[in-house]
C-alpha cells in the first residue's frame, strides 16, 4: 500500500488521483471530516479531482456518514479494512491519502481500539463520582495519550470505560493484516503553503462555503454540533448566528487553518521520531516528477 500524507492545501488529492491513474490504484481517504455527506466545500473534498483524463478514480471512505453522527477511529479502522481487502481482491493498488494523522497512524501501527459496548449502569456510577476521582481512576487503567480526556468530563468517562473494556480483553479485537507500506509526505515550503491556504479559503468562500453551512443549519443540525466539525464550520456558524462579523470570521478562519496545518506537520514529525519512515517529496516538482519519485521507491 502507498500512503500519501501532508498538511491541508499541500496538493495530496491531485497527486494521489494521478498516481492512482498511472498505477491502476484506488484511493482510501484518511480524512476525519470527509466521511460526512453534504459537508463538501468546508472539508475540501474536491471530488472533481477524482477524474483524471476523463477516467473516474475509485475512492473509499468519503460520504459514508450523516452530519451529526460522531464517526470515530475504531469505525475508521473497520471501514479501512473492508475497503483495503476489496481493493486487493480486485488486483488494484491501495493508496491511503489524507491529513488526519491519527487515522493514518492507527493503520500503520494497527492500534487496538475496541468497540465501546453500552453499559448504562457503569455510566451512572461513573457520573456520580467527582472529576478528580475519575482522573485518579483513569490513571490506574491506562496511560493518557490525550490531555483532552481529563479536560472534558464526558471524554473522561468514555476513556475510563474504554480502559475497563481493554482490561477484559474484549472479543471485538481484530488483528490487522500485515500490510507492506511505503509512506510518502508532501509539505510545501511554509510561505508557499500559507499562500495556498489563504487563496483556497477565499476561493471556497466565493464558491458556496457559507451557503453550505446555511443548508446544514437549515437541515436541523444544531449550531453547537456544527462547531464540533472543525474550523470552517465553527467560524462560519458563529458568523451566521451573529456572534462575529464576516471580516472577523475570515481573519480568524484563515489564522486557524494556518495553525491547523502546523499541528498536522507536528504530528507527522512525531510519527517519524516514533519510527515511521516518511519519504518527503519535493513539492516544487511537477506532478509527473513527483509520481516518478514515488514509483522508484515502491
Rounded to an integer, the average pLDDT of 80-99 is: 97
- How much is the pLDDT for 54? 97
Rounded to an integer, the average pLDDT of 273-297 is: 96
Is the per-residue pLDDT at 135 higher than 50?
A: yes
* 141 vs 31, more confident: 31
**pLDDT > 70 fraction of the chain, expressed in percent and rounded:** 91
Would you say 244 and 238 are in contact if contact means Cβ atoms under 8 Å apart? yes
- How much is the pLDDT for 79? 97
Distance, in Å, from the CA atom of 205 to the CA atom of 41, rounded to the nearest integer, reads: 9
- Report which of 6, 1, 3 is spatially closest to residue 183, judged by C-alpha positions: 3
How does pLDDT run across 150-197, given as a tens digit for each residue? 556 887 888 788 777 655 544 444 467 789 999 999 999 999 999 999
- Report which of 258, 262, 246, 205 is spatially closest to residue 42, judged by C-alpha positions: 205
At the top level of CATH, which class does the domain 2-111+175-295 belong to? alpha beta
CA-based diameter of the chain, in Å? 60
Mean pLDDT, the chain, rounded, equals 90
Distance, in Å, from the CA atom of 235 to the CA atom of 212, rounded to the nearest integer, reads: 13
Helix, strand, coil content of the chain in percent (nearest 5): 55, 10, 35
* 154 vs 226, more confident: 226
Q: Can you give the residue ranges of every domain in the chain?
A: 2-111+175-295, 120-167
Grid coordinates belonging to 247: 471580516
Is the per-residue pLDDT at 140 higher than 90?
A: no
Q: Give the pLDDT band (50/70/90) at residue 113.
A: low
* DSSP string for 226-268: HHTT-HHHHHHHHHHTTSS-HHHHHHHHHHHHHHHHHHHHHHH
Would you say 112 and 145 are in contact if contact means Cβ atoms under 8 Å apart? no
Residues with Cβ < 8 Å from 167, sequence gap 6 or more? 141
How does pLDDT run across 8-64, given as a tens digit for each residue? 999 999 999 999 999 999 999 999 999 999 999 999 999 999 999 999 999 999 999
Would you say 17 and 27 are in contact if contact means Cβ atoms under 8 Å apart? yes
Q: What is the pTM of this model?
A: 0.82
- How much is the pLDDT for 4? 98
- How much is the pLDDT for 171? 43
Would you say 35 and 62 are in contact if contact means Cβ atoms under 8 Å apart? yes
Rounded to an integer, the average pLDDT of 93-111 is: 93
Amino acid at each position: 500500500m502507498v500512503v500519501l500524507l501532508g498538511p491541508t492545501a499541500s496538493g495530496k488529492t491531485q497527486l494521489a488521483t494521478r498516481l492512482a491513474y498511472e498505477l491502476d490504484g484506488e484511493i482510501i481517504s484518511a480524512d476525519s471530516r470527509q466521511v460526512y455527506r453534504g459537508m463538501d466545500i468546508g472539508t475540501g473534498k474536491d471530488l472533481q479531482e477524482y477524474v483524471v483524463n476523463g477516467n473516474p478514480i475509485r475512492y473509499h471512505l468519503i460520504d459514508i456518514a450523516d452530519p451529526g453522527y460522531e464517526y470515530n477511529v475504531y469505525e475508521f479502522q473497520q471501514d479501512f479494512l473492508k475497503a483495503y481487502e476489496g481493493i486487493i481482491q480486485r488486483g488494484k493498488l491501495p493508496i491511503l491519502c489524507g491529513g488526519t494523522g491519527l487515522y493514518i497512524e492507527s493503520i500503520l501501527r494497527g492500534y487496538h481500539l475496541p468497540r465501546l459496548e453500552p453499559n448504562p449502569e457503569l455510566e451512572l456510577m461513573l457520573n456520580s463520582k467527582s472529576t478528580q476521582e475519575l482522573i485518579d481512576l483513569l490513571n490506574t487503567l491506562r496511560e493518557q495519550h490525550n490531555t483532552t480526556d481529563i479536560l472534558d468530563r464526558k471524554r473522561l468517562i468514555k476513556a475510563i470505560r474504554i480502559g475497563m473494556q481493554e482490561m477484559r480483553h474484549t472479543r471485538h479485537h481484530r488483528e490487522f493484516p500485515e500490510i507492506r507500506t511505503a509512506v510518502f509526505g508532501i509539505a510545501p515550503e511554509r510561505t508557499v503553503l500559507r499562500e495556498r491556504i489563504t487563496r483556497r479559503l477565499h476561493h471556497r468562500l466565493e464558491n458556496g462555503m457559507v451557503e453550505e453551512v446555511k443548508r446544514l443549519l437549515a437541515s436541523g443540525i444544531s449550531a453547537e454540533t456544527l462547531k464540533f466539525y472543525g474550523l470552517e464550520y465553527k467560524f462560519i456558524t458563529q458568523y451566521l448566528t451573529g456572534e462575529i462579523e464576516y471580516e472577523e470570521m475570515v481573519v480568524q478562519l484563515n489564522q486557524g487553518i494556518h495553525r491547523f496545518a502546523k499541528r498536522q506537520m507536528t504530528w507527522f514529525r512525531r510519527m517519524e521520531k516514533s519510527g515511521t519512515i516518511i519519504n518527503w517529496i519535493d513539492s516544487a516538482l511537477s506532478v509527473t516528477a513527483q509520481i516518478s519519485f514515488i514509483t522508484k521507491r515502491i
